[in-house]
Amino acid sequence: MGSGMPGQVPKLSKTNYGNWSIQMKVLLASKELWEVVEDGVEEMTAEAEAALTNAQRVAWRESKKKDKKALFILYQGVDEATFEKISDAETSKEAWEILQRSMQGVDKAKKVKLQSLRAQYEVMRMQSSEKVGDFVTRLRTLTNEMKRNGETIDEVSFMEKLLRSMSKKFRHVVVAIEESKDLTAMAVDELVGSLQAHEYRMLQDDEESSGLGKALQTQLNFGESSGRGGGQRGRGYQGRGRGGRGRDQGRYQPHQKEVEHNQGWNAGGRGRGQSRGQGRGQGRDQGRGQGRGGRGDMSQTQCYNCGKFGHMSYDCWSPRKGGDANHYAETSNTGGDPMMFLTVQGAGGGRNGTWYLDTGASNHMCGEKELFTSLEPNGGEVSFGDASKISVEGRGVVAVVLNGKEVLINDVFYVPGVRSNILSLGQLVEKGYRVLLRDGTLAMKDGQGKEVVRVKMTTNRLFTLSMDVKETACLARTEEEEEAWLWHHRMGHLGFTGLKLLSGSKMVEGLPTITPPQRVCEACTKGKQRRETFEGGKSRRATRPLELVHSDIAGPFETTSIGGSRYYITFTDDFSRKCWVYFLREKAEALEKFKEFRAMAEKESGQPLKVLRTDRGGEYTSRLFDEYCKQWGISHQLTAAYSPQQNGVAERKNLTIMNMARSMVKGKGLPKKYWAEAVQVAVYVLNRCPTKSVKFKTPFEAWSGWKPNVKHLRVFGCVAYAHIPDQRRRKLDDRSERCIFVGYAPASKAYKLYKPGDRESYHL
């Protein structure tokens, strides 16, 4: 063992038995001694030892020597009081067992303490003034204490708790992380880094909010001061003024060659706006204006309207041009948005993937509905300089491809009559981007200072950005196509041939006439594509319910479901082809799920289960499974070894379920943890879809005897709002919560909704 051994041996105390036993096991195993502690050494009399062969005698004596070495190490790892308990032990195994028994009282104390720690863990929340790093340290300290008392919190659970416990100001970023990230594939440090980056941006915003204005200030306040107290007298939103004494505010800094829009422009000068300012000011200090200039050197700036240098188009005193006039627009909607300036020539350039980067637009705008991946109704109007008005019909997300990468543009107004797609630089600045203009080039950087866009000014002095359109299979161009796509998604991405058959043959109620569109569903292509298979031979079909049931297990899935499952098992009735699905944490649960299924199915059908057909998976061939089938007179048919094709009905059913579930998750861009909910919906929908094996009926009707109604079906993953019961809210609290639709409640006429960040499902 060496003379240095005592210094390496962990010391046992009254409170560290758990950690000590782990360390001691590792130490003994490293010296090849743990086996004798665990198994013990057989005691022999002299006669028994004499009867051994030389090799057996040598091995036995070597084991005895190892046992004494292990016992010595245990002696070294305890204090004097504990040593007295094991001093009479003759073997290391005996000493180890004595220590285990004596520490049982300590384990009970740990359990009591663990209950207290669990309570602290559940109620722990981030304080509003607390920093992310401090809260993570506080939470980690608590989980480490729980670990020392016998309960380990895995990294995924730790991250879920962290997101659940963040303060309200992090709510939107928490939702974004939960919707876009798979926590099982994410490290804790990565998550904490994302939260700290967001915290840093919020601190920056707070520091910059006291300046004269953020970069590319597009939402300008008109006539904020009323009466005589304003400090401006002029007619323009920039304050035309008549002189003013504000010396410092209007001075031009000659060394400032670059205009960085994140620093803002000084208001003031001689501008002539579209509306008239009010107020004459009071006292000498306020004066009657704010001085001239305030924008740096404008001598090289050319006006879009008159072509002269020294001012910008919205400061221009020349009459507006007719056909080529810039479109100045203001919006009025339910949110009370201020002015929206569109300084883009009306060329209709947005239809070819071109977006205009506009310093005057207060919001992103797009006139092409098919570019939106999600769209919600939103009222309001856009009023142009010629007194014409266009309605704002929605607000949503546009998907484009920039430099080969998919980019989502949020908060885009859908304005059907607008002729150009507009990117508001002011809105981008509010999102944390920095915009710089220099030498006819516009550059944009993200919050970390990484350049994401660099474009040169065009010959007509515009900044344009070319972005390819990301084709989405969810938006159609006609009402008929829109309805077809809607039902395609509601029916779990069922093929249009099946949809048309289901609609035309009136197998279900509530389904309108379907006109198949000409385009291909991208989510179906990604989720369902496979190689062609060989045709199989026909087999005899069952003539009554439960005469033959096919079963198979799918999994393990690399991502654990929200409910903690990694497998699912299906049972398919051969007569009706109706399918039932159950979710498993381990394959060993298969027998219990089979018992549940049999009791339910026999009760519903009034028929006994006669034959069960499965593959030769260990979960089906266990002794307990075999005994259960014999007990209830169920014939258990097994496929030939290495021939899962013989269980073709169950295999094909699982393939169809997974194709549909994969397409639903892909179609909405949801995290993989929603796979179980998607599988449940897929089975629910497939039972209401046509199948070649049952003529002119759906599996649901073939099993139950009546036609299903599909009017209640909804698109998997769509946004839904759950009503909050009166008992759970106060007078001024919200009456509903934003959730995600994830399925249909099995035991009631209700929808199953999931609120990101919670483990709770709402049945409505």
* 416 closest CA partner among 376, 370, 373: 370
Instruction: Return the pLDDT at 535.
Output: 46
What are 613's strand-pairing partners? 550, 637
Contacts of 140 (CB under 8 A, 6+ apart): 158
* Per-residue confidence (pLDDT) for residue 311, from 0 to 100: 63
Residue with tokens 């496979």: 530
The crossing angle, in degrees rounded to 10, of helices 132-148 and 104-123 is 160
Q: How confident is the model at residue 756 (pLDDT cuts 50, 70, 90)?
A: confident
- Nearest CA to 570 among 597, 541, 542? 597
* Spatial CA neighbour of 356 closest among 367, 371, 372, 343: 343
Tens of pLDDT, residues 2-20:
444 445 788 888 777 777 8
Contact 583, 565 (CB under 8 A): yes
Task: Report whether 285 contacts 249 (CB < 8 A).
Answer: no
Report yes or no: 21 and 37 within 8 Å, Cβ to Cβ.
no
Between 118 and 595, whose confidence is greater? 595
Per residue in 190-243, pLDDT tens? 899 889 888 888 777 665 544 433 333 333 333 333 333 344 333 343 444 444
262-276, 515-529, 589-603, 679-693: segment of lowest average pLDDT: 262-276
Q: What are phi and psi for residue 22, nearest 5 degrees?
A: -65, -45
Of 747 and 55, the one with more pLDDT: 55
Q: In the structure, what pLDDT confidence band is assigned to residue 757 with cuts at 50, 70 and 90?
A: low
Pick 683 or 437 by higher pLDDT: 683
3-state secondary structure of 62: helix
User: Checking DSSP bridges between strand 394-402 and strand 372-377, what pairing results, if any?
Assistant: antiparallel
Distances (CA, A) of 723 to 276, 607, 740, 763, 764: 47, 41, 13, 10, 8
Count of other CB atoms within 10 angstroms of residue 610 = 14
Return the higher-pLDDT residue of 109 and 630: 630
| DSSP-derived 3-state class of residue 550 | strand
- The pLDDT assigned to 152 comes to 84
Q: What is the mean pLDDT of residues 631-637?
A: 93
Whether 522 contacts 553, CB under 8 Å: no
177-191, 256-270, 349-363: which has the minimum mean pLDDT? Answer: 256-270
- Residue 480 scores a pLDDT above 80: no
Number of helical (H) and strand (E) elements in the chain, helices listed first: 22, 25
- Reported as a single tens digit per residue, the pLDDT across 148-178 is 777 888 998 999 999 999 998 888 888 888 8
- Which of 290-299, 534-543, 574-583 has the lowest average pLDDT? 290-299
Q: Check pLDDT > 90 for residue 547.
A: yes
pLDDT(32) > 60: yes
Mean pLDDT (the chain) is 74
3-state per-residue secondary structure call for 182-246:
CHHHCCHHHHHHHHHHHHHHHHHHHHHCCCCCCCCCCCCCCCCCCCCCCCCCCCCCCCCCCCCCC
pLDDT of residue 609: 95
Which residues face 358 on adjacent strands? Answer: 424
Average pLDDT over residues 630-659: 85
Cα–Cα distance, 345 to 327 (Å, whole number): 7
Over residues 708-723, mean pLDDT? 85
Measure the CA angle with vertex 212, ends 333 and 295; round to 5°: 100
* pLDDT at 109 (0 to 100): 65
Highest mean pLDDT, choosing among 132-136, 458-462, 664-668: 132-136
In order of 440, 650, 751, the CA distances from 554 in angstroms are: 59, 10, 26
Does a cis peptide bond (omega within 30 degrees of 0) precede residue 556?
Answer: yes
Q: Quick one: pLDDT at residue 570? A: 96
pLDDT bucket at 277, cuts 50 / 70 / 90 = very low
Mean pLDDT of 609-626: 91
Least confident of 391-395, 564-568, 606-610: 391-395
* CB 16, CB 66: distance < 8 Å: no
Burial of 265: CB neighbours in 10 Å, binned 0-12, 13-18, 19+:
middle
User: How far apart are the C-alpha atoms of 296 and 307, rounded to whole Å?
Assistant: 19
Query: What confidence category does residue 522 fall into, taking pLDDT thresholds of 50, 70 and 90?
Result: low
How much is the pLDDT for 103?
73
Q: Is the pLDDT of residue 550 over 90?
A: yes
Q: How confident is the model at residue 642 (pLDDT cuts 50, 70, 90)?
A: low
- Euclidean distance between CA atoms 568 and 555, whole angstroms: 7
For 282-312, give the secondary structure using H, E and C. Answer: CHHHHCCCCCCCCCCCCCCCECCCCCCECCC
Report the alpha-carbon distance of residue 94 to residue 87 in Å, rounded.
10
Q: Parallel, antiparallel, or unpaired: how do β-strands 751-754 and 736-744 relate?
A: antiparallel
Residue-wise pLDDT tens digits, 51-100: 888 888 888 888 889 999 999 999 988 888 888 888 888 899 899 888 88
- For 413, other C-beta atoms within 10 Å of its C-beta total 26
The answer, yes or no, to whether residue 272 has pLDDT greater than 50, is: no
Share of the chain above pLDDT 70, in %: 69
Residue 714: its pLDDT value, please? 87
* Helix, strand, coil % in the chain, rounded to nearest 5: 35, 15, 45
Question: What pLDDT is recorded for position 331?
Answer: 36
The mean per-residue pLDDT over the stretch 288-297 comes to: 43
Q: Using CA atoms, how far apart are residues 359 and 361, in angstroms rounded to an integer?
A: 6
| pLDDT attached to residue 219 | 36
Can you read off the two tokens belonging to residue 487? 């039902």
Whether 428 shows a pLDDT value over 50: the answer reads yes
Higher pLDDT, 304 or 476: 304
Tell me, what's the pLDDT at 540?
A: 74
Burial code (b: 16+ CB inside 10 Å, e: under 16) for 640-667 equals eeeeeebbbbbbbbbebbbbbbbbbbbb
Angle, helices 132-148/155-164, rounded to nearest 10 degrees: 140
Q: What is the pLDDT of residue 580?
A: 95
- What does the pLDDT average to over 280-292? 40
Would you say residue 534 has pLDDT above 50?
no
pLDDT score recorded for residue 316: 64
Polymer length in residues for the chain: 764
pLDDT higher at 24 or 524? 24
CA distance 674 to 596: 24
Taking the alpha carbons of 504, 510, 516, 522 in that order, is the dihedral positive or negative?
A: negative
pLDDT above 60: residue 497:
yes
d(CA 272, CA 312): 11
Q: How far is CA 402 from CA 132, 395, 399, 453, 595, in A?
A: 33, 21, 10, 9, 54
pLDDT for res 583: 95
Residue 700 CA to residue 301 CA, distance in Å, equals: 72
